[in-house]
């Protein structure tokens, strides 16, 4: 009996160590939903947006791999079935409703009531960029004090301005009324374009504008893509050839 008493704890330990580990097959899973994005196309870049200048394309993209998807956009009688495509809305100035429907094989084990069909709805508004008096000015207008993130101690101010005057020769500026971004990079001096004849334009260049975003490309090294988040301006500046850095600036008046 004495020997058996020594064996008992070992047997008990062995029994507990062999207890089965139960996996929960639905742990961490969530039921799929309709996931899609609408973006404004500015130059070679898309920026997520709910307000768009009508001379820019709108990009529509599903964010999940579905078996199929369909889009119904405003009053357009067409039904779009691509996962990614873009359209122009040059002839409208209004708020447009987008209805998105998609299908994905449902997980009947974890979500027995899921039929695999997911629906979502969003809206975007189309506004005019240039034509007076119906234009809507970009909320980007302002002065932004900030820095490149690789050197936060070296602060400077970037200006995003809108110019509208009969004094501007369209042969020099391209347009009578236009947007202009100045002092990016710090101390930038524009001497190679005809607009140099106007002193207020000498430290900047004309970007390609989105409603809350822009793209500029002056030469191989001076280029960037910017966007507004609340009152903060972000600019991804440069490229792989010349080096990349990021500007972050807070608006002040």
**Locus of tokens 């236009």:** 178
Residue 188 has pLDDT above 90, yes or no: yes
Give residue 7's pLDDT: 47
pLDDT digits (tens, 9 = 90+) for 144-180: 999 999 999 999 999 999 999 999 999 999 999 999 9
Question: What mean pLDDT is predicted for residues 53-69?
Answer: 97
Question: What mean pLDDT is predicted for residues 48-54?
Answer: 97
DSSP E strands, the chain: 36-42, 45-48, 51-53, 57-62, 68-73, 84-88, 95-103, 117-127, 142-148, 156-164, 177-182, 204-205, 208-209, 213-217, 223-229, 232-239, 243-252
* Residue that wins the pLDDT comparison between 19 and 73: 73
Give residue 86's pLDDT: 97
Instruction: Check if the beta carbon of residue 233 is closer than 8 Å to that of residue 249.
Output: yes
Question: What mean pLDDT is predicted for residues 65-86?
Answer: 97
Neighbours of 225 (CB within 10 A): 21
Give residue 220's pLDDT: 83
Q: Is 110 left (phi over 0), alpha (psi -120 to 50) or beta?
A: alpha
Looking at the DSSP assignment, which residues form a beta bridge with residue 12?
none
**pTM of the predicted model, to two decimals?**
0.86
Give residue 219's pLDDT: 87
Confidence class for position 13, pLDDT limits 50, 70, 90: very low
Strands 142-148 and 243-252, by their bridges, are antiparallel
pLDDT digits (tens, 9 = 90+) for 21-30: 667 889 989 9
Q: Annotate 192-232 with DSSP letters as a single string.
A: SSGGGGSGGGTTEE-PEE-SSEEEEESSSSSEEEEEEETTE
Q: Where are the domains of the chain?
A: 36-127, 142-252
Strands 84-88 and 243-252, by their bridges, are unpaired
* Residue that wins the pLDDT comparison between 220 and 180: 180
Confidence class for position 18, pLDDT limits 50, 70, 90: low
**Locus of tokens 């608006």:** 251
Cα distance between residue 251 and residue 245, in whole Å: 20
The CATH superfamily assigned to 36-127 is Immunoglobulins (2.60.40.10)
Angle at 246 between CA 64 and CA 226, to 5 degrees: 65
- Tell me, what DSSP letter sits at residue 111? -
Residue 11 has pLDDT above 90, yes or no: no
Looking at the DSSP assignment, which residues form a beta bridge with residue 160?
142, 181
Residue 201 has pLDDT above 60, yes or no: yes
pLDDT digits (tens, 9 = 90+) for 84-130: 999 999 999 999 999 999 999 999 999 999 999 999 999 999 999 99
Closest Cα to residue 178, out of 158, 200, 157? 200
Return the SS3 of 12.
helix
């Amino acid at each position: 009996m004495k020997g058996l008493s020594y064996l008992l704890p070992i047997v008990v330990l062995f029994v507990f160590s062999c207890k089965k580990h139960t996996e929960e097959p639905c742990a961490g899973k969530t039921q799929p939903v309709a996931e899609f994005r609408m973006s404004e196309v500015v130059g070679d870049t898309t920026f997520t947006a709910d307000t768009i200048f009508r001379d820019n394309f709108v990009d529509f993209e599903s964010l999940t791999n579905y078996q199929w998807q369909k889009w119904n956009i405003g009053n357009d009688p067409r039904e779009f079935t691509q996962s990614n495509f873009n359209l122009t809305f040059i002839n409208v100035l209004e708020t447009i409703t987008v209805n998105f429907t998609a299908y994905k094989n449902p997980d009947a084990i974890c979500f027995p009531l899921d039929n695999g069909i997911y629906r979502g709805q969003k809206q975007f508004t189309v506004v005019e960029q240039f034509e007076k008096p119906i234009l809507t000015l970009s909320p980007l207008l302002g002065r932004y004090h900030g820095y490149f993130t690789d050197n936060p101690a070296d602060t400077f101010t970037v200006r995003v301005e809108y110019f509208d005057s009969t004094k501007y020769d369209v042969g020099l500026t391209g347009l009578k009324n236009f947007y202009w971004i100045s002092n990016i990079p710090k101390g930038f001096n524009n001497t190679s374009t005809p607009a140099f004849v106007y002193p207020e334009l000498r430290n900047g260049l004309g970007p390609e504008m989105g409603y809350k975003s822009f793209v500029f490309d002056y030469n191989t090294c001076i280029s960037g893509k910017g966007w507004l988040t609340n009152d903060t301006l972000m600019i991804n500046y440069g490229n792989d050839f010349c080096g990349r850095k990021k500007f972050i600036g807070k608006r002040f008046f």
